[in-house]
Amino acid sequence: MKTAKPAATADNATPATSAHHHEPGHMHGARGESQEAALTLAEEYCRERGEKLTPIRRKVLELLLNSGRATKAYSLLDDMRQIHPGSAPPTVYRALDFLLTAGLVHRIESINAFTVCHDLTQCQHGILVVCQQCGNVTELHQPKLRQALVAQIEDAGYRLASDEIELKGLCSACQIAEAASAGAATPVAAAK
Residue 111 has pLDDT above 50, yes or no: yes
80 Cβ neighbours under 8 A, 6+ residues apart: 56, 59, 60, 63, 87, 91, 92
| Percentage of the chain modeled with pLDDT above 70 | 76
Ordered by start, the domain boundaries in the chain are: 18-191
94 or 138, higher pLDDT: 94
Residue 176 to residues 43, 111, 172, 182, Cα–Cα distance (Å):
38, 22, 6, 10
Output the pTM of the full model.
0.71
**How far apart are alpha carbons 118 and 123 in whole angstroms?**
8
Beta bridge partners of 107: 114
pLDDT at 160: 87
DSSP class of 110: G
Residue 9 has pLDDT above 70, yes or no: no
pLDDT at 55: 95
Burial class (CB in 10 A: 0-12, 13-18, 19+), 93: middle
**CA nearest to 73, candidates 90, 56, 58:** 90
Residue 99 has a CB neighbour count (10 Å cut-off) of 24
**How far apart are alpha carbons 141 and 127 in whole angstroms?**
7
User: Which pLDDT tens digit goes with each residue over 26-65?
Assistant: 333 334 568 899 999 999 999 999 999 999 999 999 999 9
Beta bridge partners of 70: none
User: Which pLDDT tens digit goes with each residue over 57-72?
Assistant: 999 999 999 988 899 9
Q: Show the CA angle centred on residue 82, arms to residues 71 and 96, nearest 5°.
A: 40
The answer to whether the CB of 115 falls within 8 A of the CB of 106 is yes
pLDDT at 191: 52
The answer to whether the CB of 62 falls within 8 A of the CB of 35 is yes
Looking at 1.10.3450.40, 1.10.10.10, 1.10.3720.10, 1.25.40.10, the CATH number of the domain 18-191 comes to 1.10.10.10
**CA nearest to 127, candidates 104, 157, 106, 154:** 106
Q: In the predicted model, what is the mean pLDDT of residues 175-182?
A: 93
Query: What stretches of the chain show up as alpha helix (H) in DSSP?
Result: 31-48, 55-67, 73-83, 89-102, 143-155, 172-191
Residue 19 has pLDDT above 90, yes or no: no
The answer to whether the CB of 103 falls within 8 A of the CB of 121 is no
Beta bridge partners of 140: 19, 127
Q: In the predicted model, what is the mean pLDDT of residues 143-151?
A: 90
Residue 110 has pLDDT above 90, yes or no: no
